[in-house]
Amino acid sequence: MYRPHHNNGYDWYPTEGVRDSNGPNSPMVQYEQARMRDTDERDAVQKKTFTKWVNKHLLKAGRRILDLYEDLRDGHNLISLLEVLAHDILPRERGHMRFHKIQNVQIALDFLRVKGIKIVNIRSDEIVDGNPKLTLGLIWTIILHFQYFKWIDRIRKVLSSFLAVYCSCGLSRRVPQFAQTQPLTLIIVGSSR
């Protein structure tokens, strides 16, 4: 049996062995189940990886988390993480009510915005509720910002020291004049900062 292809032409393809039913064995249901399984596996790997990264930094503050989604809900671990990464001290609410938790997460989100980090569609109440996707998104944003700029700073230091050595070795005649007088600045194309 043949039926027309979905495009405007009249391409034909066989439908033998293909079931058009919406039953549990239909190809669409099987595809959707496989896609959900892959998504769940990816989320589990991200959760485990991000938990290790957060714990690596929280160790400096004498803290540790076991469950990324649960242990960031009150905002205290999130604030401690940002304090360690930014070498800064942030205020925090001391209570245990939902209002205090939302306020602590909001302090962390506001701090990130002040640092120039774009936080899109993440509200403090969603982190307090333990939303897995948004919690992963928030931690990924923090990782990108702090790891990326740490890496850029290292490159800037290496290039600056290289240029200083290069200029001091009597080879400065070959270095363009602007490189001798201007501090080294890296411009990253496509950066959101």
**DSSP class of residue 13?**
E
CB 12 within 8 A of CB 5: yes
The structure's pTM equals 0.65
CB 136 within 8 A of CB 50: yes
d(CA 140, CA 40): 17
**DSSP class of residue 24?**
T
Question: Domains in the chain, start-ordered, CATH in brackets?
Answer: 43-181 (1.10.418.10)
Percentage of the chain with pLDDT > 90? Answer: 52
pLDDT 10s digits, 105-150: 999 999 999 999 999 999 999 999 999 999 999 999 999 998 877 7
The chain-wide mean pLDDT, for the chain, equals 81
d(CA 37, CA 180): 57
Residue indicated by tokens 């401690």: 80
